Amino acid sequence: MTNVNVNGGGMHPFFHPAAHYSSPAEVLNDKELSIPEKRIVLSSWASDMYAVESRPDLREIPGTGHSVRLNDILAALRQLDGGDDDDPPRGGGVPMRLRRPWAAAAHRRWL
């Protein structure tokens, strides 16, 4: 575990993921964190709140002094879900066609 200098910002360092970790791999390898706790740390890093201006593929985690690639964070999250980090993200569910309210109303008039 790496000690990282964290700007206080009114938040206790324990609650700030950067206070303890400097990379997604470090989060994954921490034996003291449960899988849900690892997911919380990594998900917070993936948040747009940490996006680097004009570089949506990077996250600037306060206190680390370097940027982390969003792809690395997402790969770590996929590993937690039991997927290989080279697997592409799973697709969505079955497509559904929704009826338009105005079409349903027009259909009722003809019945």
Residue 101 has pLDDT above 70, yes or no: no
Which of 46-50, 58-62, 104-108 is predicted least confidently? Answer: 104-108
- Write the CB contacts of 63 (distance below 8 Å, at least 6 apart in sequence): 4, 5, 6, 7, 16, 18, 19
Q: Which residue has the higher pLDDT, 55 or 1?
A: 55
When pLDDT is cut at 50, 70 and 90, the band that residue 83 belongs to is: low
What percentage of the chain exceeds 90 in pLDDT? 32
**Domain spans in the chain, listed from the N-terminal domain onward:** 13-91
Q: Give the pLDDT of residue 100.
A: 61
Q: Give the pLDDT of residue 21.
A: 83
Residues across the chain: 111
Residues 17, 45 contacting (CB under 8 angstroms): yes
